[in-house]
Amino acid sequence: MSLDTLADTLEHELTDLLSAEKQFAKLLTQVAKAADSDEVKQMAQEHHAETLQQIENLQAAFEALGAKPERGKVCKAAQGLVEENTSTLKEEKPKGALKDVALISGSLRVEHYEIAGYTSALAVAKALGQRQVAQLLQANLKQEQATAKKLQTAAPQFLKAANG
Protein backbone atom coordinates (compact mmCIF):
# COMPACT_ATOMS: atom_id res chain seq x y z
CA MET A 1 0.00 0.00 0.00
CA SER A 2 1.27 3.42 -0.87
CA LEU A 3 0.79 6.18 1.66
CA ASP A 4 -0.39 8.87 -0.74
CA THR A 5 -3.13 10.25 1.47
CA LEU A 6 -3.97 10.61 5.14
CA ALA A 7 -6.71 8.01 4.60
CA ASP A 8 -4.06 5.59 3.31
CA THR A 9 -2.03 6.31 6.42
CA LEU A 10 -4.99 5.50 8.66
CA GLU A 11 -5.63 2.20 6.88
CA HIS A 12 -1.93 1.36 7.21
CA GLU A 13 -2.00 2.19 10.94
CA LEU A 14 -5.12 0.06 11.46
CA THR A 15 -3.58 -2.86 9.56
CA ASP A 16 -0.46 -2.62 11.70
CA LEU A 17 -2.50 -2.52 14.91
CA LEU A 18 -4.67 -5.45 13.82
CA SER A 19 -1.62 -7.56 13.06
CA ALA A 20 -0.06 -6.58 16.38
CA GLU A 21 -3.18 -7.39 18.39
CA LYS A 22 -3.52 -10.80 16.77
CA GLN A 23 0.10 -11.60 17.59
CA PHE A 24 -0.27 -10.32 21.15
CA ALA A 25 -3.46 -12.36 21.69
CA LYS A 26 -1.48 -15.55 21.03
CA LEU A 27 1.33 -14.35 23.27
CA LEU A 28 -1.05 -13.62 26.15
CA THR A 29 -2.25 -17.22 26.22
CA GLN A 30 1.39 -18.31 26.57
CA VAL A 31 2.05 -15.72 29.30
CA ALA A 32 -0.98 -16.92 31.26
CA LYS A 33 0.30 -20.51 31.11
CA ALA A 34 3.87 -19.57 32.03
CA ALA A 35 3.15 -17.23 34.95
CA ASP A 36 3.88 -18.56 38.41
CA SER A 37 1.52 -16.29 40.33
CA ASP A 38 -2.25 -16.39 40.07
CA GLU A 39 -2.25 -12.58 39.83
CA VAL A 40 -0.08 -12.49 36.70
CA LYS A 41 -2.05 -15.40 35.19
CA GLN A 42 -5.31 -13.52 35.82
CA MET A 43 -3.97 -10.26 34.37
CA ALA A 44 -2.88 -12.09 31.21
CA GLN A 45 -6.23 -13.88 30.89
CA GLU A 46 -8.18 -10.64 31.39
CA HIS A 47 -6.06 -8.80 28.88
CA HIS A 48 -6.45 -11.65 26.40
CA ALA A 49 -10.23 -11.18 26.57
CA GLU A 50 -9.78 -7.42 26.08
CA THR A 51 -7.44 -8.04 23.15
CA LEU A 52 -10.09 -10.13 21.40
CA GLN A 53 -12.50 -7.19 21.83
CA GLN A 54 -9.85 -4.81 20.52
CA ILE A 55 -9.49 -6.98 17.42
CA GLU A 56 -13.25 -6.70 16.91
CA ASN A 57 -13.03 -2.92 17.34
CA LEU A 58 -10.31 -2.70 14.71
CA GLN A 59 -12.37 -4.82 12.32
CA ALA A 60 -15.33 -2.48 12.97
CA ALA A 61 -13.06 0.48 12.22
CA PHE A 62 -12.23 -1.02 8.84
CA GLU A 63 -15.93 -1.55 8.17
CA ALA A 64 -16.66 2.07 9.08
CA LEU A 65 -14.05 3.16 6.55
CA GLY A 66 -15.31 0.74 3.90
CA ALA A 67 -11.80 -0.70 3.79
CA LYS A 68 -10.00 -3.96 4.42
CA PRO A 69 -6.68 -4.70 6.11
CA GLU A 70 -3.67 -5.17 3.85
CA ARG A 71 -3.32 -8.86 3.05
CA GLY A 72 -0.31 -10.60 4.49
CA LYS A 73 0.87 -7.49 6.37
CA VAL A 74 2.73 -8.45 9.53
CA CYS A 75 3.62 -5.87 12.14
CA LYS A 76 7.38 -6.35 12.44
CA ALA A 77 7.62 -4.43 15.72
CA ALA A 78 5.00 -6.69 17.31
CA GLN A 79 6.78 -9.69 15.86
CA GLY A 80 9.98 -8.56 17.59
CA LEU A 81 8.21 -8.02 20.90
CA VAL A 82 6.60 -11.45 20.64
CA GLU A 83 9.96 -13.08 19.87
CA GLU A 84 11.57 -11.32 22.82
CA ASN A 85 8.80 -12.36 25.19
CA THR A 86 8.74 -15.90 23.81
CA SER A 87 12.44 -16.29 24.52
CA THR A 88 11.72 -15.33 28.14
CA LEU A 89 8.94 -17.91 28.29
CA LYS A 90 11.31 -20.64 27.08
CA GLU A 91 13.95 -19.91 29.72
CA GLU A 92 14.21 -22.52 32.46
CA LYS A 93 15.23 -19.70 34.72
CA PRO A 94 13.96 -17.42 36.18
CA LYS A 95 11.35 -19.08 38.35
CA GLY A 96 8.77 -17.79 40.81
CA ALA A 97 8.70 -14.05 41.36
CA LEU A 98 11.70 -13.55 39.04
CA LYS A 99 9.77 -15.13 36.18
CA ASP A 100 6.73 -12.98 36.93
CA VAL A 101 8.94 -9.86 36.95
CA ALA A 102 10.25 -10.83 33.51
CA LEU A 103 6.70 -11.47 32.24
CA ILE A 104 5.44 -8.16 33.62
CA SER A 105 8.40 -6.33 32.11
CA GLY A 106 7.82 -7.87 28.69
CA SER A 107 4.11 -7.21 28.90
CA LEU A 108 4.69 -3.59 29.82
CA ARG A 109 6.86 -3.09 26.73
CA VAL A 110 4.01 -4.51 24.64
CA GLU A 111 1.52 -2.14 26.27
CA HIS A 112 3.66 0.90 25.59
CA TYR A 113 4.01 -0.11 21.94
CA GLU A 114 0.24 -0.47 21.67
CA ILE A 115 -0.35 2.86 23.42
CA ALA A 116 1.95 4.57 20.92
CA GLY A 117 0.19 2.88 17.99
CA TYR A 118 -3.31 3.75 19.15
CA THR A 119 -2.30 7.33 19.97
CA SER A 120 -0.95 7.80 16.43
CA ALA A 121 -3.90 6.16 14.70
CA LEU A 122 -6.36 8.11 16.84
CA ALA A 123 -4.73 11.41 15.84
CA VAL A 124 -5.05 10.50 12.15
CA ALA A 125 -8.68 9.39 12.54
CA LYS A 126 -9.53 12.67 14.29
CA ALA A 127 -7.73 14.69 11.59
CA LEU A 128 -9.87 12.93 8.98
CA GLY A 129 -13.08 13.54 10.95
CA GLN A 130 -13.64 9.79 11.32
CA ARG A 131 -15.62 9.94 14.58
CA GLN A 132 -16.71 6.30 14.69
CA VAL A 133 -13.16 5.09 14.02
CA ALA A 134 -11.82 7.53 16.61
CA GLN A 135 -14.27 6.21 19.22
CA LEU A 136 -13.21 2.62 18.58
CA LEU A 137 -9.52 3.53 18.77
CA GLN A 138 -10.10 5.58 21.92
CA ALA A 139 -11.80 2.59 23.59
CA ASN A 140 -8.81 0.38 22.76
CA LEU A 141 -6.35 3.05 23.90
CA LYS A 142 -8.10 3.37 27.27
CA GLN A 143 -7.89 -0.39 27.80
CA GLU A 144 -4.19 -0.42 26.93
CA GLN A 145 -3.50 2.46 29.31
CA ALA A 146 -5.43 0.72 32.09
CA THR A 147 -3.50 -2.50 31.52
CA ALA A 148 -0.18 -0.65 31.61
CA LYS A 149 -1.22 0.94 34.90
CA LYS A 150 -2.16 -2.47 36.36
CA LEU A 151 1.21 -3.87 35.35
CA GLN A 152 3.05 -0.88 36.81
CA THR A 153 1.10 -1.21 40.04
CA ALA A 154 1.75 -4.95 40.31
CA ALA A 155 5.46 -4.78 39.46
CA PRO A 156 6.78 -3.51 42.84
CA GLN A 157 5.41 -6.47 44.83
CA PHE A 158 7.07 -8.93 42.44
CA LEU A 159 10.30 -6.94 42.42
CA LYS A 160 10.33 -7.01 46.22
CA ALA A 161 9.60 -10.75 46.29
CA ALA A 162 12.28 -11.42 43.68
CA ASN A 163 14.81 -9.37 45.60
CA GLY A 164 14.44 -11.57 48.63
Domain boundaries, the chain: 6-162
Please give the pLDDT value at position 62.
97
Rounded-to-integer distance, Cα 13 and Cα 69, Å? 10
Domain made up of 6-162: CATH architecture: Up-down Bundle (1.20)
- Please report which confidence band the pLDDT of residue 44 belongs to, taking 50, 70 and 90 as the band edges: very high
Q: Are 35 and 149 in contact (CB under 8 A)?
A: no
Q: Are 107 and 44 in contact (CB under 8 A)?
A: yes
Per-residue pLDDT of 46-91, as tens digits, reads 999 999 999 999 999 999 999 999 888 999 999 999 999 998 777 7
Whole-number Cα distances in Å, 106 to 35, 88, 120, 133, 148 = 12, 8, 22, 29, 11
- pLDDT of residue 92 exceeding 90, the answer is no
